[in-house]
Structure 1
Amino acid sequence: MAMSLKKIGAIAAGSAMVASALATGVFAVEKIGDVEGFKVIDNGEPTADIVVGSTAAAADVVSAANVAAKVGSMMFKEGEAASGSAKLTVKASAESDDANLRKLLLGNTSTINFTEDQHDGKKVFVVAAADSDYSDGFIKAGGLANLAVNSEIYGSTDKGVILNASLGDLSTLAQVKDIDPSDWNNSNDDDAVEMVFATVKSNGDDKSVTVTEDAAVYASIAYLDDKETFNDGTVTFKEGNRLPFLGEEYALVKLDSDDDIVYLGKEVFDGVLKEGDTYNIGDGYELKVVAILKSGDGEEYKISLQLLKDGKVVAEKFDKATAKSALKMIYTPGNIGIVVNEAWENVGGDYGFASALITKDVIALELGEEYMPDWEAVTVQQDSTTKNLILEDSDVDKDNTIGIALKYVGDDEDNFKSGNTMKIAKYANLELDDEDKDEKLNLFFSMDETKEATLAAGQKATVLNSEITLSEVMADAKAPVAFKAPLAVLDTEVSLDAANKKLILVGGPVANALTKELADAGKIEMTVESPATLAVVAGAANGNDVLVVAGGDRAATAEAANALIEML
């Protein structure tokens, strides 16, 4: 990826540093200083604080949180097991059924060689799911209505699709069998199911096909209990619902229609909190239910919440909470999300209660933006008239979100042939294999995935669609040593003069006060024209190095953050 880079100066310790361009995957970024030498992990623990501006735009806050999550994923340390917990590594592999493109069955009797010249430009659509009932129901009559004209899932308005094929189940995909475990919305056991689908186009050369931009999708879709057809079986996600996302169970914390962001988090607590209660979330964070007040003469209640970090209030919220309009609170610097569905008082009216969900490790899916290189975040919606699937990349619709998805937006895979593998959202695979036979060219999905889970004795977890239980820890077992995960902090909570470790500053001088301080001191130079930049300023934070992750605008800052994440 080539681009003309403007020279940006950086002065530290009285010497000039040389700038160079770095291309990382689809991201291009300008490096200044010893970026590769800026280590974020030492002996399994973080060496730097990630700092975001207290008045920064949502995009910068999301970038900081994503950097923090990446650093957290690199942390490790082992010690003797003493607390009855252990880290388990689960590895699983699976393959779906296949479609032989050289002997493709059309209807009940006739077969064609899809790769021959006469079928050049024609397409085949394939789908697999955690359970074959859902992939079968996706394409069967009455399943996905008007599938043959539904350009959303074919990646083009030039349809040419001659076959829609269910490849059955890909058993390592995940499924949540009760998306509303606390019955906030109803007592149904509705499901959420992972699916992968793709459209391949014949090249007419007897050996290869093309997968175009927009023609491969990973999705997590909600279905009514005991319903498997897309046409009449889907259900709208509500905040607080659970769903699988890339093999792990998350809670839907917020559908943000203002910024068009979907927030997902890992459950920490799901239950009832009493007015005055304080819940310890971990990493120094606590949630306090300050007050629950009856609103007017009706049955509506307003709730006052405070989020504390090391005893200091860092965020608060005062709003009503009802089943139709839950209270949502997102604190992105700490990757914490809270949903309060309902509040009530005791019979005497002396104190109140709140039904709450607390989550950590919150991730943000900004519609129309790449969640990972080449894979754009979208919501799955359904046309109310045609029942067609819609992959929405710009507007969060709370009343019509039936799924979360990642859509391929990279370059066309235009010479996809036997032995090739296309990674779907760094999770599943689309493969071709001719088995060294002239009459074979099998198209199928596969997975070969490893996940980790830390469990206490007796605790259960669902990993790669399998439930595992840790029965006991032997005396000589190894267990993770406790440490604090890295969290993004605000520029009002740390200073260059008093820093006790390295700093990663996300955002330019306008968005981040510490970046502005460096710019004012002449240690970095950045304008609204600056490209995505990673700049190391040696010793600028009380003798500790500083890495500036920024650009001339929010998009450039996001690109710089993504490049850093890919480098780590």
Structure 2
Amino acid sequence: MKVRKIAALAVGAAMVGATLGYANAAMPGKEFFVKDGMPNVKIVVGANAPSTMDVASAADIALAIGSLLYTSEEVKASGVSVVVKKDITDDPDDITIYKYFYSTVKGPITAEEWSDLPGDYWWNGSAYNGSYDDWVAAYQTLPWMYEVEDMDGIDEDFKVDWDFSIDEIHLIPTDPDDWDENDIDQPPKDAKLQIPKGAFKVLLNYTISNWSVEVDLGKDSQWGIPYSESFNIIDDDKPDPNEIADEYDVDPSDVKINFKGYVYEGVASGDTFTVLGNSYYVLNVIDKAFEYGKDHGEVWFRLGDIKDYDGYKVKAVDISVYENRALVEVTSPNGIDQLVILKKDEEKDVFGNGGIILTLTDTFVGIDSNLIATIQVVTNKKKIESGDELVAGWKAEITTGTNSDGDKVIKWITLSNADDIEEKTVDVLGKYKVYYKLQTWTKDEADANYDINDDGDKKDELMTAKAMIVIEPTERVYETKELAVGGELDGWIIESIKGETYTKVTPMVPTEPITVLDTEVDVNAVDSNLILVGGPVANAITKYLVDQGLSTVDWKNSDGDLEYIEDAFGTFDVLIVAGKDRYATREAAKELMQYLAQL
């Protein structure tokens, strides 16, 4: 159905008897609908319209007009502050394992392509003049070790660092794909990294110490007064005096570090601690092992009480104060029932799998004469010993000791990969990506105007190469700083903050309804532009304009029209949205919505 836009009719102020003529524009401009960001029109729908579809059309038109309710102005931005950011990512150096450069060859470069690269420029621990096997052996004597600070903790106090090392690495070529490790002479074009079982280690030290640090800053040059700075460091490792000396630009001998005591002497029973972000509540610490689970504490049971613990239902069936015993019925999460006799201070693993463990601690008669049993409830109890997988894929070596109170504690845990790792990109605890990379460069002697390979001409194209184990942070870390006028950045004072001109848009909210019924409109006192939804049958105001000869559309046969009449009511204009039936009116309303979307 094609909606027609009828040319605007220019109606004289007196309307009746005026000469009709076509205006230049077929549709009203934006000010017909809105002015100063507020509605400048009312939508009129017939009170006795035979179809509610006209009401829906009026609602859609109102919604479209709502998108125009705003004011805009060109303003100049005047910032009160600026936010700057600095990349503070801890980015370890890559490990160069092969280097075929003039500086390592100590003579002319002769390789013209990858297959010409010599096999004796691998790092051997002291220089780039070894074989691939020399590099594998040299790496094991000085493996990559790194630390990520404050990743795990005790009772949500995250002071435990991840001290990790990859003690052995091998290359498994993927290009050439018919090589194995024994074929490696020159560096492969591409390769996987293989880390043997147990070679990837992570040390978690749960003894957190307080260290006092005093830095001797010498004497000031004017008066000779000695200065120093003192502070404390809480960490699982002893602070490095060399790092502190570098920070203060002093000699390491000017840094004094003293142990002041333990903040945590380890992880004891009743502590919650984390391992690679996984949380464990410790029930008991044993030599090179510990038990963990969920301790629900000591719970009071009256006779007949039923209580739920992690899916296990416990019902007190009988309580004997005289014998200090209790009979309970326990239902497992999968519906298995078990009657259990509990004796005082005797631990009972109800289903034999650590799912729920009950210990009767006392029985007595309450003040209301009810029989009461107090029962210690523990669920999901498990035991981890050295050599077990604590976290999936990681075997744990658990070092235990005794704290100053004589209690058993976990001192530290060393995790190691339970299986060989063979990947193109090795994920290091979600913090770093480690992978092999070969870089090659070519140089044309003619372009360089130099006999690079010293063969008496300048016609060759030569190649150099470097192979690396790339260590790349998984995510960049940024520190932000907000600076206002008068602030300082790297010695520069912020004098002013200038901004460019931009368009400021302010949404406006109407305070009066814009959709009314035709029975609410007095044709002798119209006070705004009107959008009339519906033809002369559905809308009394449309009929009025037809009767006055102002609306000239043949609405009985209209497939949907938009008729714009200027000065229909004094200085106010009218837009009729109508057709021969409700469907035609609906099409006209859609056309108007599309028009409004373009304003």
Query: What range describes the TM-score normalised by the shorter chain of this pair?
Result: 0.3 to 0.5
Which structure has the larger Rg over C-alpha atoms? 2
TM-score where L is the length of structure 2: 0.32
